[in-house]
Chain A
């Protein structure tokens, strides 16, 4: 009896520790968001949208972040989705696993290494200077693997009998993709783009030495014009000695956090829709 009760105490103790560990996962997430957004009210005013960073606003930084994120989607979207389609539909097993491994390893490269390479190659070697293109390409390097992965997984969830049906109907590959494979996979593929968006609005290290920074609004020049972005303000202004700079840094962090929260909600909705479509296909 004594032995038995020791075992149940042990069991209880173990699961109590596990519950504590779960709290240690949930806790920091809540703490960071609540801790930073709690005082956001007075910081987030319309001044941020109408003034640039020299005048304690964030207009140029918000616009810059949006321009960079849009550029990343335009470049990394087609490339990542194309590579994902290749992995799911074209490649043979060994080639696919080779390509997949490289893509996943690329996602593990430290972001500062990407930034450094962008500086040496794009800014100096190609004489592009601190520029929008250099920043976008650095970010593309970082987010492409996520899009590749989600696209491949999304397409693999489409059951094979749909493919067989398409072949039996004599559809071309383009038609098969457009009419049969992409519609059910689309929500999941867009989730990948949302992740890419979330990362490109939040990254700093790859941009420091590629995009540079500018206190003015983005100009329509691909090279030789540095561009501002939100995370730079959060990073530098918190280290400046005056109160208004700290508030600006806080506001910039709050805006990126709000971006992230919106994107996570969007991603969640897409995931729900994707689950529904998959369930319907497997009936």
Chain B
């Protein structure tokens, strides 16, 4: 007798027991369907495992070669790819004078993503509060299209917009004002640069992160019990006080999780950042307008050149950077989902914010 399929107590949509023939066998089609679906369900898990394994194995020699220098070193160079005696570290050899110090990339990645979050969190939460609490219901779906648009616009289109429209505008009109008004803070001091750098990259990332945070916050806001809000209003609170006392505390953890997801998205974004970051390898940004580069952008920009390294170490060094990025994004994503599952019923959006 074959085992009845399905029906192992799903809370909401409990499937029934499998339909069995008189002899107690599951229909052939049903069994095929079940096997196919199980196999399909394990594809994402398999893919994630493959990604992690491939990154780990290709990065391993570079991890051994660089050791802690990978995080502390400030020079990232593939070395002399055309000759010279190989440099040997910890038993692993690389081209002459190759150094894989990723500190500037890590700093660039962190700074751009922090700028992005600093802008995107208040904008998303405030904008969505307005959308859900104050805008008439029939306009809400229409305005939500803009979130879909921001989530769907390809990364290179953001980059192109940054190069030809947003970056120049920032450098000509906004940055000089920032220098004049906030110039007493060292990082806001000039020169304002060419319109490619930390600030542009951070702001474009902010626009790309907004759909992730805003879509989550919107769904969370709809879970806030209406009676609590009405109670607060009935006590004579203003709408602002209701938001402060009732709504925000209710969804605080969810917003934190959304911010984590947004952070992961900002860390991993490649093309738009690569196009507007100014591509500055081996320098720490000296002010907020200065050129920089991120881990993801470095991989996209230099894998091409790394392929010419006959020892293969350059490719592996980039893998190490990618592995670091992968680990951080896996951790932030998982943590965000755990937090949301523990505290509220709302589902988090997937990936770019759909």
Contact residues of A with B, CB < 8 Å?
7-8, 10-11, 14-15, 17-26, 28-33, 35-36, 78-83, 85-93, 96-97, 99, 101-117, 119-121, 141-142, 144-146, 148-149, 153, 155-156, 158, 160, 163-164, 166-167, 170-174, 177, 195, 198-199, 201-205, 208-209, 231, 234-235, 238-239, 246, 249-250, 253, 256-257, 260, 263-264, 267-268
Name the residue of chain A whose CB is nearest to the CB of B338.
A101
> B113-144 interface mask toward A, CB cutoff 8 Å, 1 = contact, 0 = none?
00000000011111111110011000000010
Name the residue of chain B whose CB is nearest to the CB of A78.
B40
Within 8 A of A (CB), among B153-183: 153-161, 163-165
Given contacts A102-B48, A235-B156, A256-B157, contact A88 B329 (CB under 8 A): no
- A18, A238, A267 interface centre (most CB from chain B within 10 Å): A18
The answer to whether B6 and A89 touch across the interface, beta carbons within 8 angstroms, is yes
Given contacts A28-B207, A82-B36, A250-B160, contact A164 B149 (CB under 8 A): no
Given contacts A104-B350, A108-B265, contact A148 B161 (CB under 8 A): no
Report the minimal beta-carbon distance from A192 to chain B, rounded to whole angstroms. 9
Report the minimal beta-carbon distance from A48 to chain B, rounded to whole angstroms. 16
The verdict on B84 contacting chain A, using a C-beta distance below 8 Å, is no
The answer to whether A17 and B54 touch across the interface, beta carbons within 8 angstroms, is no
Given contacts A11-B238, A82-B36, contact A106 B44 (CB under 8 A): yes
The answer to whether A119 and B47 touch across the interface, beta carbons within 8 angstroms, is no
The answer to whether B145 and A268 touch across the interface, beta carbons within 8 angstroms, is yes
Point out the residues of chain B lying under 8 angstroms from A199, CB to CB.
152, 351-352
17 contacts between A and B (CB under 8 A): A11-B238, A25-B210, A86-B41, A89-B6, A92-B10, A101-B334, A105-B330, A108-B265, A108-B268, A108-B351, A144-B47, A199-B352, A202-B156, A231-B271, A234-B160, A256-B157, A263-B152
Given contacts A90-B15, A116-B303, A167-B16, contact A144 B330 (CB under 8 A): no
The answer to whether B123 and A173 touch across the interface, beta carbons within 8 angstroms, is no
> Complex: how many Å from CA A103 to CA B124?
25
- B131, B143, B351 interface centre (most CB from chain A within 10 Å): B351
Identify B145's interface contact among A163, A205, A264, CB under 8 A.
A264
Given contacts A106-B47, A144-B44, contact A112 B300 (CB under 8 A): yes
A-B contacts besides A29-B153, A92-B9, 15 pairs, CB < 8 Å: A7-B238, A21-B130, A25-B214, A83-B41, A85-B37, A90-B6, A99-B42, A105-B337, A107-B351, A108-B330, A115-B300, A171-B19, A195-B354, A231-B155, A264-B148
> Complex: how many Å from CA A20 to CA B131?
11
Given contacts A110-B268, A111-B268, A120-B319, contact A105 B333 (CB under 8 A): yes
The answer to whether A83 and B40 touch across the interface, beta carbons within 8 angstroms, is yes
Size class of the contact patch on chain B: 35 or more
The answer to whether B158 and A32 touch across the interface, beta carbons within 8 angstroms, is yes
Identify A11's interface contact among B160, B161, B240, B332, CB under 8 A.
B240
The answer to whether A173 and B6 touch across the interface, beta carbons within 8 angstroms, is yes
The answer to whether A108 and B155 touch across the interface, beta carbons within 8 angstroms, is no
The verdict on B318 contacting chain A, using a C-beta distance below 8 Å, is yes
The answer to whether A90 and B153 touch across the interface, beta carbons within 8 angstroms, is no
Point out the residues of chain B lying under 8 angstroms from A29, CB to CB.
146, 149-150, 153
